[in-house]
Amino acid sequence: MNGRTEEALRAAVRDLADEARGAPDIAGRALRRGRSLRRRRRVVAAGAALAATAVLAGPFVWLRPDPPAGPARWAAPPATSTPPPSGPAAPPAASTPSPSGPVAAPPPAGDWARGPLALPGGWVLTGATSTGTPAELGYALDRSAGRYVTSRYEETWAAPRGGVAAVVDYERRGELGLLELRTGQVRWVKVGSFIMTPHWSPDGRRLALTLMDKDDGGFSLGVLTVDTADYRTFPVDGKRYLCTDQCFFTWSRDGAEVALQQTDPDASVSESQPHARRGVQFFSPDDGRPSRFVPVKGDPDGPWSWSPDGRSVIVKGPDGPLLAEVATGRTIGPAPAADAAWVAGDQLLYRDRRANEMLLVDLAGRVLARQALPPALEANPVLAVAPR
Amino acid sequence: MAEVVDGEFTAFVHERGDALLRVAYALAGSQHGAEDLLQNALAKAYARWPRIRGDAEPYVKRILYHDQVSRWRLRSHRAEVPVAVLPERAVQRDLGQDSDLRLLLRDALRRLPPRQRAVLILRYLEDMSVEETAAALGCRAGTVASQASRALAKLRELVPALDELTTFQEAP
């Protein structure tokens, strides 16, 4: 690079930085968030201290050696859309009354990770991942032991079922780790440079990865079979199946196909807005062949985005999360969160980040049940849930 | 003790907050993203304040760089996938129009993958050497060089006038 190029680049970088406007009360906001973080770390540290005979099972992973304590004690959430009257059914004192619906069931007391966290609607928290550095604790539910395994890898992606979690170590580029929850052993598989996040099939047997060739921007689907560590990649015809902006393969609810959102090539493109979609294209995870197209104009988040009857789906639309009819693409209405899980019938489960709670709502937005999450999960940006 | 920590932390943010926000903005490319990024980094710094109080600014910056690069992989954030048709090009621009070129370059910077943009921010906003940049990002110097090279190639693709600038300069 010559001097003039460097000079122009330096000026442009500074121009970009100069666009920043002063942020009001950034110190106060950071203080409040920092206090919350510190409280959470103390809780985690206290939990770790109790595990006096922890077994080091890998460079960053430790398993909780304590015998399973059975399911964590949760107060049953009120299954009503109206505030419960005061009386014997009221939850314990730790619960928070809500002006707009049922009272939240409190988080389990003590070391919450020693038992599965039951969620409203008959679901369970299967894990939580840390992202970024310094790595925070990630969690993956070991269903056989009935407790969560903690992980210090930068990312920990818990499977809906089975005894393996996927882990990402930022120092091992192009590799994905398969963490055996029972033993703590990690098998590293060379998968190539993948973007976004690994996605588990609903049965926990396969992982879908989105690979992008940085030179030509082309996509490939990577499918890793956990039991055999068999890894296959299938290039996608990027002209025919165009995807720009956020692109990642996710699984259908039955695990028989993978989906990739499709960009509308005729729509105007602005990098300040999500790119317009024309629909979702499905592919076979067995041979990568395109299977079907649905005119849903948004990005599904995973297998639980699709309703159990396959007629509706939750997607991230251009202006926010929405519910759409699969056959026609017609928007049914807004959705509470792009990563909400379609639990059953007309019930959706999602996380209220501000309150650190899981909410079960109906399609009209009425809150059916609320459960508070442990404070330790407050900083984990992504939670994994699955049917119990 | 808590009051001392709060006081030191608040004073640090008041003194260095604007400078850190500029870095965060250059990394995130938007005001909202910058505030979010910086707030998280400062919160982590606060939680570890007794251990990092003498070295807070480099610590906060390290978190800014790492979190921004890491967020790229999160599904909740926008992945930078090339569009089929590139936006406005500057093929016919007069090289004397430096302000136009800077404007185009500034917009093109936003389109770089976060890791590449982070390398350029460290090198040209923070004036770090390749080795310092590598240390800040926790990677090898060779990785910094290759990321910078790819970033430059991408910028030339997006802003051909940058290439013309190079040719102009290198002509005998």
- A285: Cβ contacts below 8 Å, ≥ 6 apart: A201, A206, A208, A221, A223, A251, A256, A257, A258
* Strand A367-372 to A104-105 pairing: parallel
Can you read off the two tokens belonging to residue A382? 């992504």
Interface contact flag, B9 A242, Cβ < 8 Å:
no
pLDDT computed for residue A27 by the predictor = 85
Cα–Cα dist A288/A211, whole Å: 13
Cα–Cα dist A350/A40, whole Å: 22
Cα–Cα dist A378/A381, whole Å: 8
Q: Identify whether residues B51 and B110 lie together within a single domain.
A: no
Can you read off the two tokens belonging to residue B111? 């389109």
Write out pLDDT tens, residues A283-311: 999 999 999 999 999 999 999 999 999 99
- Domain C-terminal end among B45, B79, B113: B79
pLDDT computed for residue A351 by the predictor = 94
Whether residue A360 contacts residue A368, with contact meaning beta carbons closer than 8 Å, is answered with yes
Tell me, rounded to whole angstroms, the distance of Cα A255 from its chain centroid. Answer: 17
Write out pLDDT tens, residues B100-131: 788 888 888 988 888 888 899 998 898 888 88
Strand order from edge to edge, sheet including A155-158: A155-158, A164-168, A175-180, A186-190
pLDDT computed for residue A240 by the predictor = 93
Nearest by CB to B10, which of A27, A37, A132? A27
Which chain B residues are Cβ-neighbours of A5 within 8 angstroms?
152, 162, 165-166, 169
**Whether residue A157 has pLDDT greater than 60:** yes
**Whether residue A193 has pLDDT greater than 50:** yes
CATH assignment of the domain containing B37: 1.10.1740
Q: How far is B132 from chain A (nearest CA, A)?
A: 17
Mean pLDDT of A50-70: 29
Write out pLDDT tens, residues B9-48: 999 999 999 999 999 999 988 888 888 889 988 988 888 8
Cβ neighbours, 10 Å, residue A271? 16
The contacts found for B9-16 with CB under 8 angstroms, 24 or more apart, are B9/A27, B9/A30, B9/A31, B9/A34, B9/B45, B9/B46, B9/B49, B10/A27, B10/A31, B12/B56, B12/B57, B13/A26, B13/A27, B13/A30, B13/B42, B14/A27, B16/B56, B16/B57, B16/B60
Measured CA to CA in angstroms, residue A236 lies from A34, A218, A233 at distances of 44, 7, 10
Mean pLDDT of A29-53: 56
If you count them, how many residues does chain B have?
172
- CA closest to A39 among chain B residues: B47
- Domain C-terminal end among B58, B79, B100: B79
Question: What average pLDDT does chain B have?
Answer: 76
Which chain B residues are Cβ-neighbours of A214 within 8 angstroms?
150
Q: Identify whether residues B75 and B89 lie together within a single domain.
A: no
Would you place residue A86 in the very low, low, confident or very high pLDDT band (cuts 50, 70, 90)? very low
**Whether residue A260 has pLDDT greater than 50:** yes
Whether residue A307 contacts residue A342, with contact meaning beta carbons closer than 8 Å, is answered with yes
| DSSP class of A357 | E
Mean pLDDT of A313-329: 94
Would you place residue B95 in the very low, low, confident or very high pLDDT band (cuts 50, 70, 90)? very low
pLDDT computed for residue A40 by the predictor = 54
Rg of chain A taking only CA atoms, in angstroms:
22
Domain assignments of chain A as residue spans, ordered by start: 51-83+90-185
Nearest by CB to B78, which of A9, A13, A245? A245
Can you read off the two tokens belonging to residue B16? 């260095």
Write out pLDDT tens, residues B62-71: 888 888 876 6
Whether residue A311 contacts residue A325, with contact meaning beta carbons closer than 8 Å, is answered with yes
Q: Identify whether residues B89 and B53 lie together within a single domain.
A: no
Can you read off the two tokens belonging to residue A371? 């459960």
Write out pLDDT tens, residues A339-383: 999 999 999 999 998 889 999 999 988 999 999 999 888 877 789
Cα–Cα dist A12/B16, whole Å: 22
- A48: Cβ contacts below 8 Å, ≥ 6 apart: A54
Q: Indicate the number of domains in chain B.
A: 2
Higher pLDDT, A126 or A131: A126
CATH assignment of the domain containing B164: 1.10.10.10
Q: Identify whether residues B100 and B20 lie together within a single domain.
A: no
Q: Identify whether residues B59 and B97 lie together within a single domain.
A: no
Structural domain span for residue B163: 82-172
What is the sign, positive or negative, of the torsion defined by CA atoms of B64, A46, A112, A206? positive
Strand order from edge to edge, sheet including A367-372: A104-105, A367-372, A357-362, A347-352, A341-344
Q: Identify whether residues B57 and B8 lie together within a single domain.
A: yes
